[in-house]
Amino acid sequence: MPNKKAQIKHARQSKKRNLENRKIKAALYTNIRKVRKIIEGGSLGEVKANLPATLKTINKSAQKGIIHKRKAARLQSRMVKNANKLAKTPDSTPKTT
């Protein structure tokens, strides 16, 4: 238990920051799972709609120090690579009949 006033304040601030960071991190990984699931499903339109927002969330998390910047770069790279792979497959293009 902290003894000094400054220590008590620091503990209070740490707790508050930790809760906020956990909320942001949970939202981040929810978005990532959502986009990965859409990519696996093969819906190119949905990927184009959801990918930019997820990439923005990843960037914001890295800027705030919630995840490391290299981890953010790695996540973005893999997501974009998989989305591009999906775009190149002939199944994902809309069929005109």
CATH numbers and ranges of domains, the chain: 5-87 (1.20.58.110)
pTM over 0.85: no
According to the model, what pLDDT value does residue 88 have?
A: 86
Q: Residue 95 above 60 pLDDT?
A: no
Instruction: Give 95's DSSP letter.
Output: P
User: What pLDDT, in 10s, does the model give residues 32-83?
Assistant: 999 999 999 888 889 989 999 999 999 999 999 999 999 999 999 999 999 9
> Is residue 75 a contact partner of residue 58, using CB atoms and an 8 Å limit?
yes
